[in-house]
Amino acid sequence: MRQGLIYENAFEYVYTLLFDIFVCSLKSTFYLLETIFLTLLPDKLRRKKDVSGQIVLITGGGGGVGRHIALNFARLNAKIIIWDVNREAINATCDALKTEGFECASYIVDISDREKVYEAAKRVKEEIGKVDILVNNAGIVTCRPLFEIPDKAIEATYGVNILSHYWTVKAFLPDMIANKRGHIVTVSSVTGLMGTYACTDYSATKFATVGFHESLYSELKYHGHDYIGMTLVCPYYINTQLFSGVKPRLFPMLEPKYVADKLVESTLKNEVNCTLPNSVRMLLPLKCLLPAKTCWELMVRIMKGPQSMSLYKGRGKAKSG
């Protein structure tokens, strides 16, 4: 691949541009047909990666979604590592795994603290081994209008929801590249695709995780690291303490097990994007196609987004699982 955009003359510029358009068109047609084929192909016939014996690290593994993610990977004979700040939640996940006959390693880690992440990562490598699958699942939310959010709460939300992704990926991705095997799962949200009332902190950080995923994906692809899988998961509101009290009008809250099942399924299929549920995914393009005022009318009159968020009764801080 040409490094940079330096051309000897105008002819070379036009020739390479036309050639690249031709190749892009061919590949795009192939990828479109491939997507249609895989969509129609029964799930049982889809090729899925084998994660048996691989080390899976889950941040926010003490919460509902994180716990189900851990159970699902454990049932596939993967080795499970749980990171969380809540010892009781960690113990609950470990107990759930032990009930089914699985073992897990657990660490209390404040993932918003860069040095603590690096220290914990070093311990993991020394005590367990190099991580094969990293699931950045942890998250917190305040869920208040902007002027009601304490400054420290905003900083905390950014620390956990997005900055931690930099620290965990920088800690574990080099080993994945060296081993020519690995997968990074980024748990974002539909609020990271569409701004949400009373979520200026949460929604902004989830937008950031989408950008982080897409940018890192482009870096890995450009430098030839195709063996590193990347999956972005954007679920609708999940029925956990994170959004306790929220009552959506059109779409029901998603259950943690459903989200975890789809996340693991997408990881095994090496899917790059997973938006849940599919009905919401189909509506998202309207945001770019319709006038902003029309989108607002749909949000406030049809979906009742602000009204449903005003019913929030959560803790103010909760695991995204």
- Active site members: 202
- Of 235, 168, 183, 3, nearest to 76 (Cα)? 183
Contact 69, 187 (CB under 8 A): no
Residue whose pair of structure tokens reads 């900055």 in the numeric block: 163
- Of 87, 88, 96, nearest to 67 (Cα)? 96
Residue 235's φ and ψ, nearest 5 degrees, are: -85, 155
Contact 74, 104 (CB under 8 A): yes
Contact 169, 116 (CB under 8 A): no
Tell me the HSE value of 111 on the side-chain side, using a 13 A CA sphere: 33
Amino acid in position 274: C
Cα distances from 279 to residues 240, 251, 264, in angstroms, run 21, 9, 20
